[in-house]
Amino acid sequence: MVMRKVGKYEVGRTIGEGTFAKVKFAQNTETGESVAVKVLDRQTVVKHKMVEQIKREISVMKLVRHPNVVCLHEVLASRYKIYIILEFVTGGELFDKIVHNGRLNENDSRKYFQQLMDGVNYCHSKGVSHRDLKPENLLLDSLGNLKISDFGLSALPQQVREDGLLHTTCGTPNYVAPEVLNDKGYDGAVADIWSCGVILFVLMAGFLPFDEVDLTTLYGKIREADFTCPPWFSSGAVSLISKILDPNPRTRIRMEGIRNDEWFKKNYVPVRMYDDEDINLDDVEAAFDDTKEQFVKEQKEVKDEGPSLMNAFELISLSQGLNLSALFDRRQDHVKRQTRFTSIRPAREIIMRMESTAKSMGFGVETRNYKMRLEAVGECRIAQHLAVAIEVFEVAPSLFMIEVRKAAGDTLEYHKFYKSFCAQLKDIIWKSAVDTSPVKPDQPSSPNAVNSK
């Protein structure tokens, strides 16, 4: 087991990962504050010519300081790594809430939409277009307030061409505005508003307004705004969504119109803004400057082999508050990109069983120090592009928590994998003294809650 300290931060378990970065839980040893640390390999970033994109993402997050946007605290660098220190948001993704509930009621949907528009409006006031707004990039804090995350595809004013438009086609197909698909340039702020309209529809309906397996058909429906609101939508919601999902960007409702809409204004609580402060981007440039001698100090401590021991602070951070029962009672939790179960079997037996189960499901398996990575291979019947990371933690003598998270691929495909994976491991999943039945894996109310009508 390796313990790492980066500057004043004690870095713990991995809580997420993508193609070019891992996100780890960490604690500020000076203040006790929990943070998320996005770790990037400098050589990989340079090799894939992503320096400017990463600089842009960091700069955007430093510029946009708003209660409904994930806060970037600071940027650190070592000779080999870039560390982006972010606010640690404990309430999960808004996507999880939709999958768990099927759909949200109108009042809850409106509250989240109001917070989304507050955050997006502030971004636009700073000249920033997000360009990848979707429920999976909307997090919830411990109080249930929405936080916009993942500015990896965001655009700054410098990217606007002489015609005043952006020209890079990007975003997630189901949420992308029709003008983005036409390859003739688009206004990033107006395109963001379209994505917000799709999000509002999904919150209230539990499924997407535009959803086809074939991309050509999907894009055709988006270009024509070919959708139908369910009968439970109020007339006010239908009216506003129709104005937002206008395929003509010139006549589409603007932010001011949305904020003045009667349906939108109902029960609206103005956001309490942060105090203005001077934004300094010097550390962004310094992080990528190889000539700098002021690299952050890194410390590693290698301990005896065995599963990582999870301390009480990390356990509390997993529970969305001080109620730890959610860690062990699956009825209180729901499917996420990151899921977990517990076992009282020996750690080595747990690893061996997971390895054999994953291989039987058509996954290639790589195991090291009680960590596993699964990659779909060949004709994998679960999903061809799915990758899963697994780690075993010791939370008490002879009690282990197994954390499973999506590393790549579709979230709903991951849900199906996790359900099937746990079903085949039911004999090693922990049985409590109170409830002698196996701890059940997460059960969404509808496995296809956001991709079927």
Helix pair angle (188-205, 94-101), 10° resolution: 30
Whole-angstrom distance, CA of residue 77 vs CA of residue 39? 10
**Amino acid symbol at 143:** L
47 assigned ligand-binding residue:
yes
Enumerate residues 6+ apart whose C-beta is below 8 A from 252.
190, 193, 194, 243, 244, 246
Q: Which residue has the tokens 């560390």?
A: 83
What token pair was written down for 174?
């189901």
Whole-angstrom distance, CA of residue 153 vs CA of residue 169? 10
In sequence order, the β-bridge partners of residue 408 are: 387
> Of 96, 132, 141, 211, which is the active-site residue?
132
Q: Give the torsion through C-alpha atoms of 134, 135, 141, 144, to 10 deg.
A: 130
Whole-angstrom distance, CA of residue 177 vs CA of residue 198? 9
> Within a 10 A sphere around the Cβ of 312, how many other Cβ atoms?
9
3-state secondary structure labels for all residues of 165-227:
CECCCCCCHHHCCHHHHCCCCECHHHHHHHHHHHHHHHHHHCCCCCCCCCHHHHHHHHHHCCC
Q: Which residue has the tokens 């369910």?
A: 230
Closest CA to 150 of 36, 32, 305: 36
In sequence order, the β-bridge partners of residue 338 are: 405
Q: Give the torsion through C-alpha atoms of 193, 194, 200, 202, to 10 deg.
A: -150
Q: Are strands 399-408 and 138-140 parallel, antiparallel or unpaired?
A: unpaired
Active site residue 278: no
Q: Which residues are annotated as a binding site for ATP?
A: 47
Binding site listing: 47
Q: Which residues are known catalytic residues? A: 132
